[in-house]
């Protein structure tokens, strides 16, 4: 999708469709909406005022109106914004996504929309523009690259890389010429944020026979503007990453530890390390998952996808006075004659021994060595890991929110606030000292899975905490729930969600709606 900006009146735009954001009640129509309503013979206000109104302007609700030649555009797409006093960034983003979805049904290629004055008043012109671009790009996403072109065309209008759309151009029409520069800035940032969210979605949605550890390595090595170092199996062994090596040894695909780095031109304000779990397929190992639980385990690298897409976005956005490192331990967890066995004892990179009583609790094993390596290599001011770590987090929070826990309330609250702005919910879970009892082993320093149905998410966090320096500001994001959507919403179609990309970028850049 390409964005254009022009000065003028939306009612005069001659494209295929106009998108009009609407607040409930005809009395709330702004000047742009009134002009279109008048041209259509009060059709818009009649829709809102009818006794059994077909359109109530609820958040994300859409209605397609033909113009019958009364306007230069062939259609007007109404999209509800909800009550003005409740108007937030997430509502505006979702409204735009819903409008784009409606435009896809029309199979139009060029659409125009304006920035509702209610939205600008609530968020400011640049933020409103950024969120518009986010919603539009997120709303156009569909994953169809593994379908034949004829089938993809039948299902989605047209086949295009990374889940394309027939919508090619969205023009933002604004009556005030002095706002165009701010609109353009906002659109550029929002487009890049959403495109990289979609890129993470694409990697999560694709199948594990395509997205292998070597594939992630290849993607990382091809990013301009980032330093990239890749540790192969021999380096992993030489550095004593016994926990990571143990998980990987059952697969024919070799493991890699990817290290990406963005450095600003000046002295950085701080140094942040992001660590993403990259299990490209999780069978459970010899603690084999049931068939129904295994089917979607291609998405167990969603944390790695989020970190990789975030670093790639930073390399394109630039303008960030923070040194950002990304660490991605990636491998498969497979059953074979070479697999680790329940009861095996392994030594992690920091010297602690681990009894592996459950080979399906593998994410914490690859992350613990990556966390140790990240701290030794770059000594970050802040350390954040993101992983589809525990089914217990899905039980606790469902598909709606990720769990967040760690050693620094300041860091956790900053990430939660960023998630709120980005439209991604995070809920803090505790790391009580009492949970350390879950890690007790009779034969090693730690056991990898000892919660036995109690506080499983926090138990996973407590395990990782054992590999974080005591004074380090660290946060752990368990995204097992929201990393995969089981139903459609305007901005998040069923499948991989790219959860975490927007939160991490909003946190790093400090954007506000």
Active-site annotation, residues: 289, 364
Q: Are 364 and 476 in contact (CB under 8 A)?
A: no
Contacts of 195 (CB under 8 A, 6+ apart): 137, 313
φ and ψ at residue 436, rounded to 5 degrees: -65, -20
Residue 260 DSSP code: E
- Which secondary-structure segment (H or E) carries 246? helix 242-248
Give the chain's end-to-end CA distance (angstroms, integer).
Answer: 23
Q: Which stretches within 423-482 are classed as H helix?
A: 456-465
CA distances for 314 relative to 3, 188, 272, 308, 311, angstroms? 20, 13, 13, 10, 5
Closest to 94 (Cα-Cα) out of 325, 420, 423: 423
Half-sphere exposure of 443 (CA within 13 A, CB side): 8
Q: Are 307 and 276 in contact (CB under 8 A)?
A: yes
CA distances for 266 relative to 10, 261, 322, 327, angstroms? 43, 15, 9, 23
**CA pair distance 221, 311, nearest whole angstrom:** 12
Strand ranges of the sheet holding 17-22, from the earlier edge strand across to the other edge? 2-7, 169-174, 110-113, 17-22, 75-80, 62-66
């Amino acid at each position: 999708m390409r964005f254009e900006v022009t000065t003028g009146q939306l009612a005069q735009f001659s494209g295929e469709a106009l998108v009009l954001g609407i607040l409930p009640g005809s009395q709330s129509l702004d000047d742009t909406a009134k002009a279109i309503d008048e041209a259509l013979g009060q059709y818009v206000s009649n829709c809102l005022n009818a006794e059994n109104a077909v359109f109530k302007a609820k958040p994300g609700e859409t209605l397609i109106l033909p113009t019958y030649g009364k306007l230069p555009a062939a259609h007007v797409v109404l999209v509800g914004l909800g009550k003005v006093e409740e108007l937030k960034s997430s509502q505006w983003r979702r409204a735009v996504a819903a409008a784009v979805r409606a435009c896809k049904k029309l199979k139009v290629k060029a659409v125009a929309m304006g920035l509702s004055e209610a939205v600008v008043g609530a968020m400011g012109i640049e933020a409103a523009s950024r969120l518009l671009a986010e919603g539009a790009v997120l709303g156009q996403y569909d994953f169809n690259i593994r379908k034949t072109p004829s089938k993809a065309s039948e299902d989605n209008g047209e086949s295009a890389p990374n889940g394309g759309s027939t919508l090619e151009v969205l023009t933002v029409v604004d009556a005030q010429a002095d706002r165009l520069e701010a609109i353009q800035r906002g659109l550029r940032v929002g487009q890049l944020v959403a495109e990289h969210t979609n890129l993470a979605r694409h990697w999560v949605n694709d199948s594990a026979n395509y997205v292998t550890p070597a594939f992630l390595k290849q993607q990382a090595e091809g990013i301009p503007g980032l330093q990239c170092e890749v540790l192969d199996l021999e380096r992993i062994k030489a550095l004593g990453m016994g926990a990571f090596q143990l998980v990987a040894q059952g697969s024919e695909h070799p493991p890699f530890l990817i290290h990406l780095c963005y450095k600003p031109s000046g002295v950085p304000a701080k140094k942040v390390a992001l660590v993403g779990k990259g299990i490209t397929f999780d069978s459970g190992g010899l603690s084999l998952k049931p068939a129904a639980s295994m089917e979607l385990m291609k998405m167990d690298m969603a944390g790695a996808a989020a970190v990789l897409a975030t670093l790639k976005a930073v390399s394109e956005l630039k303008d960030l006075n923070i040194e950002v490192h990304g660490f991605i331990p990636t491998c498969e967890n497979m059953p074979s004659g070479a697999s680790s066995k329940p009861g095996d004892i392994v030594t992690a990179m920091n010297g602690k021994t681990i009894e592996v009583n459950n080979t399906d609790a593998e994410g914490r094993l690859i992350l613990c060595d990556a966390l140790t390596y990240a701290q030794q290599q770059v000594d970050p001011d802040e350390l954040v890991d993101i992983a589809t770590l525990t089914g217990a987090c899905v039980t606790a929070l469902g598909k709606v929110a990720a769990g967040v826990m760690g050693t620094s309330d300041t860091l956790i609250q900053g990430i939660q606030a960023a998630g709120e702005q980005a439209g991604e919910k995070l809920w803090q879970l505790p790391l009580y000292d009492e949970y350390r009892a879950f890690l007790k082993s009779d034969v090693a320093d730690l056991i990898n899975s000892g919660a036995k149905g109690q506080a499983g998410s926090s138990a996973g966090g407590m395990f990782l905490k054992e590999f974080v320096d005591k004074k380090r500001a660290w946060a752990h994001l368990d995204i097992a729930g929201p990393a995969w959507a089981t139903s459609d919403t305007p901005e998040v179609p069923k499948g991989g969600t790219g959860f975490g990309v927007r939160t991490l970028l909003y946190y790093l850049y400090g954007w506000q709606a």
